[in-house]
Amino acid sequence: MGLPDFKVALAFASLNFWGNWVRGLLVALKKILMHNEKDGFPITALREIKLLKMLSHKNILHLKEMAVERREGRKKPSMYMVFPYMEHDLSGLLENPAVQFTEPQIKCYMLQLLEGLKYLHENQILHRDMKAANLLISNRGILQIADFGLARPYDEPPPLPGKGGGEAKREYTTLVVTRWYRPPELLLQLRRYTTAIDLWGVGCVFGEMFKGKPILAGRSDLNQAQLIFGLVGTPSEDNMPGWSSLPGCEGVKNFGNKPGNLSEVFKDLSPAAISLLAELLRLDWRKRINAIDALRHPYFFTQPLPAQPGELPRFEDSHELDRRKFHSQRAAMPPAPAGGSVVVFQELPASPGQMDMQTKGVHSEDLMIIDPTNLTTPEINKVLKTQIEPYHPGKRKVASRLSLRCLSTNRGLRAKVDQDAIEVTKAALPYGPRAI
């Protein structure tokens, strides 16, 4: 969930469900931002919702519900995607000086990441924003791939063992993947790219887990290419066939002939680890290792063996958004569609016949809207105390400001929304939305 367009709110609430005090479960809400309401529901959000409703895998973040924030008067309701709350993202953990990953822990996370990516690619989906901040980790040791705002269906056949990324027949936009994790073929403006772009990001994450920081932190696209070719060698027709015919090749033809220094930069790694890293960071996208073959790599079968998720240590909650409060350095982002905000809220357990999660007497405390553009000293713009109104079936009532109703996707999304949203959401949700 990217910045800087996001606002972040933390709401800790005491919940009363049908008059009985209960202990709710934390969930994360991703707000769908409407930069221009005349354009209707953002197409990227519609695509993300539809994809997430199709996916079901232990290493893919699960879309639980949709939520609506009721507004006063004629203001359109705000809409949220509701996800399970994960205590960490990988970027936040790596920024925590108290956290040191062991190699069994790194192997455990890598196996889960590759399993999730293998599932995506088998279902012909490109993630297109693979980076440490989009890998969420629970205190049970489970890693899940998140943020499908740039993901899209992929028209080519799924990858096959021993066949690398293969070839693509159609063109896609190159304005994807955060710069530090962007593969060289995208920097050179290859439009017929493949699942190999996601595997390059996995390689960057793999190296980052050993170094504790991004391994290719370019200041510009040109500088990014310089860093890549300095690490793995400059392109040639031998190691990257066809590179000289790509639209972006002119800017890098004067880089000279560099052999790369991957083994030197990662000299503390075992030969098996360097071998896997080199396969993931291979310049030739056609031969870059795919998730199927990466899972079979000898690295995962040599000592020390991967830890089991339940054996991993528990850490204090740590996210990329937390660390950005204290660091002024920004990761350079490519042009990308608008995202949303993340809200931590509490979910009411649904019982039979109560799937609309009707609330009664719910109070939230210390709702903070934080300006993410001020990364050194975040400014709290508003501190609000709100009451979430009960929902009365059959009664048309405008709820109070900032009130939320979490609604089961199995019952449809009950809100007055744009027709565009209704049409696409019908495809994403089993029964479609209904107006009240």
Q: Is 317 a catalytic residue?
A: no
Place of tokens 């990308």: 336
What does DSSP say about strands 342-347 and 8-14: parallel, antiparallel, or unpaired?
parallel
In the set 5, 39, 89, 129, the catalytic residue is: 129
Q: Which positions are annotated as active-site residues?
A: 129
